[in-house]
Amino acid sequence: MSNKEIPYKIYLEEHEMPKQWYNVRADMKKKPAPLLNPKTMQPITAEELEAVFCKELVKQELDETNAYIDIPEEILSFYKMYRPAPLVRAYCLEKKLGTPAKIYYKFEGNNTSGSHKLNSAIAQAYYAKQQGLKGVTTETGAGQWGTALSMACAYLDLDCQVYMVKVSYEQKPFRREVMRTYGASVTPSPSETTEVGRKIRAEFPGTNGSLGCAISEAVEAATTQEGYRYVLGSVLSQVLLHQSIIGLEAKAAMEKYDIKPDIIIGCAGGGSNLGGLISPFMGEKLRGEADYRFIAVEPASCPSLTRGVYAYDYCDTGKVCPLQKMYTLGSGFMPSSSHAGGLRYHGMSSTLSELYDQGLMEAVSVEQTSVFAAAQEFARVEGILPAPESSHAIKVAMDEALRCKETGEEKTILFGLTGTGYFDMYAYQRFNDGKMGDYIPTDAEIAAATEKLPKIEKA
């Protein structure tokens, strides 16, 4: 243990920023299962993937062997506009809780998109530009990913077409305007502009849309326009790779002060921020160099890891994306309209699913009223108004810190604070008015959705 006094914020110098991403799959003995082609149900080839995704990103998606991948110079210089992100010692929260635990959080909300998603958006836009494409298409649920991608595309002068889940399009008009300010075109999904959108609207009239639907529309838009590819803000292995910048920076900052975390916590929607935060630490665990507890936190309304099944499933409602083996609630599962839009996804990153299945990571689910109570307490002492998604991690970090108070243990807790909640004031309003409820799906509802999982012959 070092005697150095730990500052409130630990910043890396620019020259100390990581210059390579870390690919945790390289250190996994048992790798995540391969992606399957939805038409043939056979492992998908690079060539098949390249019809939908950018070439270099396909290479990253399929790369299970290279542990370190160079971050191109242009991406590094974009990162420098808003990185390194601070590692904050939550002295005020510790005091408020009266805990002997030491709490740190890595804050990713310091950019206009308000979340960590920009770390992967700039990488994906960069490779699209390198390939000479005209533009990219994507979906957005809560709006953070669409905002991040529109910023990245504006910087690189690429066209950006966003399919935004209809309910968010209506509830979050200002997110939409931020995207348009950065030059993106935003279409509420399901829409009449795609075949799959028209089909879903005919089947479910009056639907508010879902992430799974919007993905199908964005994929169709990419594959039917010359010079376009589809990009995705979470779930994929390439996204975890780009997000490893979070964990690499956090680890480097901690090492400056000889700090070693005991518990690392992150919220998990598709798994990208959590995967990125834990990757370098997980690498040490996999190589037998160190041990850590990792905790994924998911909403009780959409509990993929804690109540889903580990199986091949579609990543989207329209069944056009490759299938992935993952913890899933079924691609037909319609999560209740909780206020953490970024966590309302039926599946989970295949890498995190495999790590969880091997017992290398834990998962817990939490109810949204308790999450907002934690968010409020955090905002009052630490100043930052957290995103509802991020607040899931806050809630569990506080629970662990309170456990230390009971046992007297001085554990070091690190959690990912993925973003700010300024566009989520409707949710905070519901909470402040005492009108927020908790919705937990019944076993029967989950069984009904998981029963419809595709039956896969041995791939």
Residues lying near ligand PLP in the complex (CB under 6 A) are found at 115, 117, 144, 234, 267-274, 342-343, 387, 389-390, 418-419
**Sign of dihedral through CA atoms 237, 269, 319, 113?**
negative
Of 133 and 386, the one with the shorter C-beta distance to ligand PLP is 386
| Residue 194, token pair as written in the block | 């795609």
Closest C-alpha among 318, 368, 313, 379 to residue 342:
368
Q: Interior CA angle at 112 toward 109 and 114, to 5°?
A: 30
**What's the min distance (Å) between Cβ of 458 and ligand PLP?**
30
**What's the min distance (Å) between Cβ of 153 and ligand PLP?**
18
Of 243 and 450, the one with the shorter C-beta distance to ligand PLP is 243
**What's the min distance (Å) between Cβ of 43 and ligand PLP?**
24
Q: Is the distance from CB of 23 to CB of 66 less than 8 angstroms?
A: yes
The Cα–Cα gap between 437 and 137 comes to 34
DSSP 18: -
Of 350 and 418, the one with the shorter C-beta distance to ligand PLP is 418
| Residue 109, token pair as written in the block | 């909300």
Of 190 and 271, the one with the shorter C-beta distance to ligand PLP is 271
Of 247 and 342, the one with the shorter C-beta distance to ligand PLP is 342
Backbone angles phi, psi at 107, to 5 degrees: -100, 115
**What's the min distance (Å) between Cβ of 276 and ligand PLP?**
8
Of 212 and 404, the one with the shorter C-beta distance to ligand PLP is 212
Rg (alpha carbons) of the chain, rounded to whole number: 21
**What's the min distance (Å) between Cβ of 92 and ligand PLP?**
21
**What's the min distance (Å) between Cβ of 234 and ligand PLP?**
3
Which class for 376: exposed (0-12), middle (13-18), buried (19 or more C-beta within 10 A)?
middle
What three-state secondary structure class fits 91?
A: helix
**Sign of dihedral through CA atoms 66, 72, 75, 77?**
positive
* Distant-in-sequence, close-in-space partners of 301: CB < 8 Å, separation ≥ 6: 335, 336, 338, 344, 368, 438, 439, 440, 441
**What's the min distance (Å) between Cβ of 331 and ligand PLP?**
17
Neighbours of 299 (CB within 10 A): 29
Of 222 and 297, the one with the shorter C-beta distance to ligand PLP is 297
* Distant-in-sequence, close-in-space partners of 211: CB < 8 Å, separation ≥ 6: 139, 141, 165, 344, 345
Of 228 and 345, the one with the shorter C-beta distance to ligand PLP is 345
**What's the min distance (Å) between Cβ of 240 and ligand PLP?**
8
Of 109 and 190, the one with the shorter C-beta distance to ligand PLP is 109
| Residue 251, token pair as written in the block | 């680890």
The Cα–Cα gap between 423 and 178 comes to 11
**What's the min distance (Å) between Cβ of 40 and ligand PLP?**
28
Helix (H) or strand (E) holding 174: helix 173-181
